[in-house]
Amino acid sequence: MKGLFVTFIIYVILVDIMFSLSESDSCDGEHCGSVISMPIMDNMKASLKADLDVSKMNKHLKAYIEQEIKKGVKTAMESMMKQMIENKTEKMNSEITDKFKDAEERHTVKVKTDQMELLIKNKSEEMLTLFQDNVEKQTIKTVQMEQVIKNKSEEMLTLIKDNEDKSMASFDVKMEEFKQKFEQKNKLNYAFFTHLSSSKSNLKPGTIHKSRKR
C-alpha cells in the first residue's frame, strides 16, 4: 500500500515536470501513439546526422512519456483504489461479521437467560403451590386434631361427670344403707339394754324371796 502511494507521488511530480517542459503543439490521443512509434525524419535518404529532426522527436517523446505517465498514474490509482476498496470491504465485512456474532451471542445469552428465568419462575410457583397445599393439608389436619381433642375432652368430661354422679349416687345409697343399719343396730341395742334393765329389776332380793315362797 505504501509503495503504491510513493509511485503515485513520483508519477504526479513527473507529470508536472513534463507539462512544464512541453509546448502547445504536443500530440494527443491515439494518433500520438502511431506518430511516436518510430523516430521522425524529414528525409529518409539523407544522412542521419544531417537530417535527423531532434526537436520534433523530443516533442513526440515528451508526449509519449506524458501519455505513459498518465496511463501509469491511472493504473496506479485504479490499483490503489481497488486495494483500498477491497481493504475497506474486508474491514466492513469483518466488522459486520463480528457485530453479527456479538448480536447472535447476546441473543443466545438473552434466550438462555429468559429460559432460566422462566424455569426459576415455574419452579418457584410449583414450590409455592406445593407449600400452600402442604399448609392447607396441615391446617386441615390441625383442625381435625383440635376437633378430635375437643371431642375426646368432652367425652372425658362427660365420663368423669357420669362417674362422679354415679359415685355420689352410690355413696348416698351406701350412706343410706349404713344409716339404716346403724338405726337398726341402735334399736337392737336399745331393746337389749331395755330388756337387760328389766331383767335386773326382777333379780332384786325381795323379788327373789317372794318368788321362792311361791
Which range is most confident: 49-58, 84-93, 183-192? 84-93
In the chain, the percentage of residues whose pLDDT exceeds 70 is 51
Q: Considering only CA atoms, which of 61, 80, 109 is closest in space to residue 12?
A: 80
Tens of pLDDT, residue by residue over 131-159, are 777 777 777 777 777 787 777 777 777 77
Tell me the pLDDT of the chain averaged across its residues: 68
For helices 2-21 and 54-202, angle between their N-to-C axes, nearest 10 degrees: 150
pLDDT tens profile 69-105 = 888 888 888 888 888 888 888 888 888 888 878 888 8
4 pLDDT higher than 70: no
CA distance 38 to 28: 16
Whole-structure pTM value = 0.29
- Domain boundaries in the chain? 2-117
Q: Give the separation between CA 203 and CA 211, rounded to whole angstroms.
A: 10
Which of 64, 73, 6 lies closest to 39, judged by CA? 64
Interatomic CA distance for residues 130 and 141, integer angstroms: 16
Report d(CA 34, CA 28) in Å as an integer. Answer: 11
| For residue 41, pLDDT beyond 80 | no
CA–CA separation, 22 and 66 (whole Å): 9
What CA–CA distance (Å, rounded) separates 170 from 67? 149
3-state secondary structure of 86: helix
Task: To the nearest 10°, report the CA torsion of 192, 195, 200, 203.
Answer: -130
Residues 77 and 11: their CA atoms lie apart, in Å, by: 10
* Nearest partner of 63 among 11, 18, 13, 16, judged by Cα: 18
